Amino acid sequence: MSDFQSDFSLKVQSIVAQIPEGRFMTYGQIAALAGNARAARIVGGVAHFGATELPWHRVVNKKGGLAAGFPSGGRILHRQLVEAEGVAVDSNDRVDIERLMWWPEN
């Protein structure tokens, strides 16, 4: 486990872990909830270095598609994971983010 114990990373990981099935959040959104709206990149950093067990496939960028560097299989794997949750994926590997964008209500 990496040193991802900082407030941001902990919040980010916590938020991602709470995303319900079939819902999505953008990096910027998570970053804002974590306390830094500008730290969208850091969310990606957490995704890349730590908490690999979290449902990162439910985390998408503003485009509505999965981030650029998903593990081997990349968008292919992402698409399978998302579709497995009953979500339609666009030819561009994008989901209807504006419709499925979720927000932690608590």
Partner DNA sequence: CGAATGACCAAGC
Partner DNA sequence: GGCTTGGCCATTC
Contact between 22 and DNA per CB under 7 A: no
Burial classification of residue 38, based on how many CB atoms lie within 10 Å of its CB (0-12 exposed, 13-18 middle, 19 or more buried) = exposed
Q: How far is CA 35 from CA 9, 17, 18, 75, 86, in A?
A: 10, 17, 17, 29, 31
Contact between 38 and DNA per CB under 7 A: yes
Among 70, 81, 89, 93, binds DNA (CB under 7 A): 70
Contact between 96 and 88 (Cβ < 8 Å): yes
Choose the stretch contacting DNA; rule: CB under 7 A; options: 52-60, 81-89, 98-106.
52-60
Contact between 48 and DNA per CB under 7 A: yes
Residues that bind DNA in the complex, under the rule CB under 7 A: 2-6, 8-9, 26-28, 36, 38-50, 52, 56, 59, 61-63, 67-71
